[in-house]
Structure 1
Amino acid sequence: MELNCFHMSLPCKSIEATVSYYSEQLGIAIGRRSDNWVDLNLFGHQLTFVESNNFEFQFPFYSLDEEDLPSFHFGVVLTNDAWEKIYDQINRQWSNDTILKRTFFKDKDGEQNTFIVKDPNGYYLEFKTFKSPSHIFL
């Protein structure tokens, strides 16, 4: 396991619905859990959800290449093979999950393929792969 990983904790509406979505639909490994929280292994990063009943989370969208994207989102940068694998996995079984699949910055520095899904808590997850991995931070 990578020693330099991030940890993020977010509120969720239901532990069971969250665990079901991330494990069954996204294929994410479930770690430790209790009645009101769960740790997930999001490609080597620790994502924790804490049950917080009904919470309100509002955020604006912004425009990129004529697409409206959520200003609050999180996700992972994957190799092209891993990106294709998870995209196929999600869309083979759960065809309604993909909110957006698009190439951004076509033929420019930072060219990337991305797709976005929305979890049962209203969070948007972005999965992306770069044409040239050296352009991740350009």
Structure 2
Amino acid sequence: MRDKNKVFHLAIPCKSLDETVDFYEKLGCQLARRYDDRVTFNFFGDQVVCHLNPDKIDTKPKMYPRHFGITFTKKEEFDQCLTLAEERCLPFFQEPMMRFEGRQEEHETFFLIDPSNNLLEFKYYQDTSMVY
């Protein structure tokens, strides 16, 4: 298990700092720092840095293999995130669905797409032993 003194870090490209800040703040992520070439967020307790790099934007994003996100261990938190995304009209790449239905690894999931075509997955496993 991860100790609280460790934070996962992910760096991704973005095409516009203003659009990026708007999206991630609507998602509930706190803006930690802003520079001329990047913004850093508290992304559900981890660090996501969006570097201004409009030439590196994926114009045809696909869910697999390139995405990132959060796996919730509490159903209420998953539902709250989904409700927030819907209420704030965040763009869905994949509407909420159930994967591997009837199997031990069954989980609820949805994907959002940020303004720079980065794909974010949010999921919840009823059986928390299947998280890893």
TM-score (ref. length: structure 2): 0.87
1:82 aligns with: 77
Deviation at residue 106 of structure 1 after TM alignment: 1.1
CA RMSD, Structure 1 to Structure 2 (Å): 1.9
SS in 1 for 2:55: coil
Indicate yes or no: 2:67 matched with 1:73. Answer: yes
Q: CA 1:60/1:14 → structure 2, altered by over 3 Å: closer, same or farther?
A: closer
2:117 aligns with: 122
Indicate if the aligned counterparts of 2:61 and 2:119 stay in contact, CA closer than 8 A: no
Number of residues of Structure 1 aligned to a counterpart in Structure 2: 128
Deviation at residue 88 of structure 1 after TM alignment: 0.4
Gaps of 5+ in 2: none
2:29 aligns with: 28
Q: CA 1:75/1:55 → structure 2, altered by over 3 Å: closer, same or farther?
A: same
Give distance in 1, aligned partners of 2:58 and 2:69: 18
Deviation at residue 55 of structure 1 after TM alignment: 2.4
Give distance in 2, aligned partners of 1:121 and 1:53: 8
Give distance in 2, aligned partners of 1:41 and 1:60: 24
Indicate yes or no: 2:100 matched with 1:109. Answer: no
Deviation at residue 58 of structure 1 after TM alignment: 6.1
Indicate if the aligned counterparts of 1:70 and 1:124 stay in contact, CA closer than 8 A: no
Matching residue's letter, 1:108: R
> After TM superposition, where is structure 1 displaced by more than 4 Å over at least 4 residues in a row?
58-61
Give distance in 2, aligned partners of 1:23 and 1:48: 13
Indicate yes or no: 2:17 matched with 1:54. Answer: no
2:38 aligns with: 37
Percent of matched pairs sharing the same residue? 27
Deviation at residue 56 of structure 1 after TM alignment: 4.1
| Structure with more relative contact order (C-alpha pairs < 8 Å, separation 6 or more) | 2
Indicate if the aligned counterparts of 1:113 and 1:130 stay in contact, CA closer than 8 A: yes
SS in 2 for 1:17: helix
SS in 2 for 1:4: coil
Deviation at residue 98 of structure 1 after TM alignment: 2.1
Residue 15 of structure 1, aligned match among 10, 14, 17: 17
1:134 aligns with: 129
